[in-house]
Amino acid sequence: MPAASKTRPTIGAVVQARLGSSRFPQKVLQELAGKPLLVHVLDRLKRCRTLDRIVVATTTDPADRALLDLAAAEGVDAFAGSEEDVLARFLGAAAQFDLDILVRICSDSPLIDWTMIDEMVDSLIEHRADYVICDERVEHACEGYEAATLAALKKITKLSDDTSDHEHVTIYIRQHPDRFSVLYHKVPELLQGPYRMSVDVAADLEFMRRIYDELYQPGEPIDVRDAVRWLRDHPEVMAINAEVKQKPVAAQTRNVLLLLGEDALAGRKRYRVDEIARHLAEHYNCVLTVAAAAPEEKLAPFAKLGYRVQTLPGGKNLSGEMLAAVETSRAALVLFDGELVGPLVLKKLQSKKITCLALDMPYRKIYKEVVRI
């Protein structure tokens, strides 16, 4: 007997999530008001009236097993697929859960608006469109969600095999709106403005924590409109991540290693390290690894900021360990503490065409070299 035809499309929110984010690893598990960021995203989606399913779409990387477990604990579905081909991951989730319309959700956007999502889904169905996104012609606080039909996503696979188009899921539609039926959802005036509502770097997390600490009540997701009204009265909070640059789609990711002695983890040296690391992450799309000859607990603050950390053993001759740290981090640039790194290690690194700069160099010279790598 043939399967019964659907009387309405099956609509699913597909939450794109992994723990291996380049600029801020494990950011979706960072706590906001005592709960992981991703849980807040799921709580907000549970308020949508149009969704039949919520699916956490992660990767087959063993490290992402934690996200499958989190989804199960939160009572939502989960799917593990390709790490690089995110479009294929979405199509796999659609096939497994029989989805006709996919609401793409960024797992690092803890102020997504359930009301707007419902409006966009209604509009997509009413106009029989392929794709809907909040109007990109204006700056706004409606980050982290869009919707597309399964047919539109399948169409992308027939039209493009470009790696970028498969990594960014809907970018092909946005760049070729003449080939699809595209809707630009109107953003209310209240929500228009230069708001940055996603968490990509430590400054974004600090910004979001200030909002959650002030407005969040257990069991009551923050209305993004209330958040915007509060931010208008608190320009000092808006300033926290105002200068963070959104990573362009085609931007180069730069791997940077900081080789530090224990004395660089405190006092004026530590302040300088923090300033340089933060600027590199926020303005130059750098993936930072901090390797130091220091106890693990002294490196914990760097891990909380989203940097990778490596503990070097104690002792005077660490050349082998430092070279291994460079190899592991895949660094094209090494910023080193002159009291830790000797001429022999520097010579070996330079022979590998790795740029090496002393941490006590002027800031402008360091940033100038970063652009060159």
Q: Which residues pair with 287 in a beta bridge?
A: 255
Chain region(s) in the chain for CATH 3.90.550.10: 11-191
Q: Give the residue carrying structure tokens 């460079």.
A: 326
Intervals of CATH 3.40.50.170 along the chain: 254-372
CB 130: neighbour CB atoms within 10 A? 20
Q: Which pLDDT does position 250 carry in this prediction?
A: 57
Task: Say whether 4 sits in a helix, a strand or coil.
Answer: coil
For 117, the token pair is: 């999502």
Q: 37-45 vs 65-73: helix axis angle to the nearest 10?
A: 40
Distance separating alpha carbons of residues 16 and 106, to the nearest angstrom: 6
Q: Are the C-beta atoms of residues 209 and 32 closer than 8 Å to each other?
A: yes
Which pLDDT score is estimated for 4? 43
The sign of the torsion formed by the CA atoms of 200, 203, 205, 207 equals negative
- pLDDT given at position 1: 32
Looking at the domain covering 254-372, what would its CATH class be?
Answer: alpha beta
54/102 Cα distance (integer angstroms): 10
* Bridge pairing between strands 333-336 and 355-358: parallel
Domain boundaries 11-191, corresponding CATH code: 3.90.550.10
Q: Across the 373 residues of the chain, what is the mean pLDDT of every consecutive 10-residue run?
A: 64 94 83 96 98 97 95 98 95 98 97 98 98 93 97 97 92 96 96 94 93 96 98 96 72 82 86 88 84 87 84 72 85 83 80 87 88 78
